[in-house]
Amino acid sequence: MRLDGKIAVVTGGASGIGRATAETFALAGARVALGDINEEGGDAVAGSICVRGGVAEYIRLDVTDPASVDAFRKEALEKFGRVDIVANVAGWGRTEPFVQNTPEFWKKLIDLNLVGTILVTRAFLDPMIERRSGKIVCVASDAGRVGSLGETVYSGAKGGVIAFCKGLAREMARSNITVNCVCPGPTDTPLMAAVPDKIKDAFSRATPMHRLAQPSEIADAILFFASGHSDFVTGQVLSVSGGLTMAG
């Protein structure tokens, strides 16, 4: 699957699934505008891509801040001229019983996982509509499909991402813009590294393939939805979870 000549935005690109997505897109031939709040990490990833012959620019981005999203959009368009693909990968979560959550914690979860996706998508949509061409891929979570113990509000936010993708896919179909959603299961990312080993072991035991996903495996699914191989696929949700969740 190639993305030659395409320009892609990847949010959350400084680490984890976002980093793997930026690297995968660049390897497939895309020029990448990599957004993240982590400036040091974002610069390092962009530099690593360029050293290997790819094209990537790090641009600071706080997906929860409309002003930051607008500045990111302007700089990305100044550097690359247009955007063909938007991969909304930025997100965050922490396992904690719902009854121990604070309203501030709820807000952070919803802003990072749902509102940020909406803000970034909206920022790049108008030129896609004018060109009648574009690919939007959002990363949700299987927690948003089936719920997850200790991640109740996170599950709700990711469920919102799934519903947002389906609704937007219906609106954008007439403009030849596809909108799809990838739902990772437990994945070996820096966020997962903070999870106690006994919980990680439980995830692996519960997964039919008996291991965590690698970020590159999630990125491959995102690449499919970003490529021409999915031109007649929209409004779909793909779980990449080693069989942990199976839906008819």
Burial class from Cβ neighbours inside 10 Å (0-12, 13-18, 19+) for residue 174 reads: exposed
Judge whether 149 lies within some domain: yes
Judge whether 234 lies within some domain: no
Domain count, the chain: 1
The confidence score (pLDDT) of residue 194 equals: 67
In this predicted structure, the answer to whether residue 63 has a pLDDT above a threshold of 70 is yes
CATH code of the domain containing 29: 3.40.50.720
In this predicted structure, the answer to whether residue 97 has a pLDDT above a threshold of 80 is yes
In this predicted structure, the answer to whether residue 135 has a pLDDT above a threshold of 60 is yes
Query: pLDDT confidence of 248, banded at 50, 70, 90?
Result: very low
- For residue 64, the enclosing domain spans 7-229
Judge whether 246 lies within some domain: no
Predicted TM-score (pTM) above 0.95:
no
154 carries an active-site annotation: yes
Strands ordered across the beta sheet of 31-36: 55-60, 31-36, 7-11, 85-88, 134-139, 177-184, 237-240
Q: Which of 1-10, 82-91, 205-214, 219-228 has the lowest mean pLDDT?
A: 205-214
Judge whether 247 lies within some domain: no
The catalytically annotated residue of 72, 154, 203, 225 is 154
